[in-house]
Structure formats: C-alpha cells, structure tokens
Amino acid sequence: MSKALERRAKLREALIEAAERAIAAKGLGGLKTRELAQEIGVANGGVYNLVEDVDELILRVGSRTLARLDASLSLAEIGGSAAPREMLVRIAVAYCDFAADNLELWRALFEHRMQPGKPVPEWAITEQMELFRHIYKPLAALFPQRSPAQLGVTARSLFSAVHGMVALGLEHKLIAVPIGQLRSEIATLTRAMVDGLTAKKE
C-alpha cells in the first residue's frame, strides 16, 4: 500500500471509531460530521474523502456493532446445554443483554434510515442476515421436517418477538422494565413460543 493510501485507511478507521463513540454517547442524533472531522484532524469536507456520505459512515459503525453482537450470540450458543430449546433461550437473553449494554449503538441499527431513494447496500444486508444463523440452527434441530424457507419464516418471527420485548422493555417510556425482570420474561416467553410451536409439529 502506498503511504497516501495507508494514511487514508488509518484516517478512515479513526473516523469510524469517532462516529462510534459519538453514537454510543449521544445516539444517532448526536452525530455531527463537523465534530468528527475536528476530532480526527481533517478539514470539514475531508470526511467525504473517507466515506461516501453519512449513510455509509453509519452503516460502517453498524457493521462493527453487528460483529460484536455476533460474537455475543456465538458465546451464548456454546455457553450451556446443547438442547435447542435452551440454546434459543440463551441467545434471546444474550440479545437482551447486548442491547442493554450497547443501548445507543443497538438503537442506531434500527433507527437509521437511508436518504430517500437510496437502497441499503448489499454488503450491509448480508451482514444483517448472517446473524439469523444463530436462531436458524437450533430451529432446524427442533423442526427437522420444515423446509429452509419455513425455518426462515419461524426464525424471523421468533427474532421479531424477542426484539419487541427488548425494544419496549428498554424504552424509557411506556413500559420500562428492570433488566433482571426483562431477562426472565424473555426466557419465559421464548420457552413458551418453542413449546407452543413444537406441540403441533407438522
């Protein structure tokens, strides 16, 4: 790599890390490219030599968040009984813990909207979809007769249900719940969903 390219790569990484700190501290609304430029020591417009636009910057931060979430879910997967029902419960609770520990970065994953008319790039969609494998694997063990497409539907439903509990539970508004209680409710409902779904196995 040439000296110039190397410098650019380092600045780009510094920019993404500065954006990550800003979002973690103040949420998506606290992201000001002018402040980031100052922090990493480039001119205001210089940010746009490093990333295409703010959407790309936010997606790159999201990419780092997803990688850490992926690591947490992988640990949960192997951190106990191999029975698929209990594995799903551990994954659901780990998702809750990750969201609580990374509240603003996790929120940013769902609150960010691309500028109108701009699609989410393929690489970002692929990264998001990759995470479903954690749920997919134990579901495939529970429902060996289901097709991959059917398992995909079930994985999405389970994820959405747990996500809803985490999102509203951590929301400091309508129904904020102490984290210990939230974890136990998530475990209870995840077990109930699995039990209910397996009771009428096709």
Residues forming the site for its own copies (CB under 8 A): 110, 113, 120, 125, 128, 153, 156-165, 167-169, 171, 173-175, 177, 181, 185, 188-189, 191-197, 199-200
Nearest to 104 by CA among 20, 183, 18: 20
User: Residue 30 Cβ, how far from its own copies at the closest point, in Å?
Assistant: 12
CB of 48 or CB of 132, closer to its own copies: 132
102 close to 20: Cβ distance less than 8 angstroms: no
User: Residue 144 Cβ, how far from its own copies at the closest point, in Å?
Assistant: 18
User: Residue 178 Cβ, how far from its own copies at the closest point, in Å?
Assistant: 11
CB of 24 or CB of 161, closer to its own copies: 161
Burial (CB < 10 A; 0-12, 13-18, 19+), residue 95, is buried
Q: How many residues does the chain have?
A: 202
Tell me 172's DSSP state: S
CB of 5 or CB of 174, closer to its own copies: 174
Alpha-carbon distance of 79 to 89, in angstroms, equals: 11
> What tokens were used for 26?
């103040």
Alpha-carbon distance of 50 to 4, in angstroms, equals: 12
Amino acid found at 164: G
User: Residue 193 Cβ, how far from its own copies at the closest point, in Å?
Assistant: 5
CB of 105 or CB of 193, closer to its own copies: 193
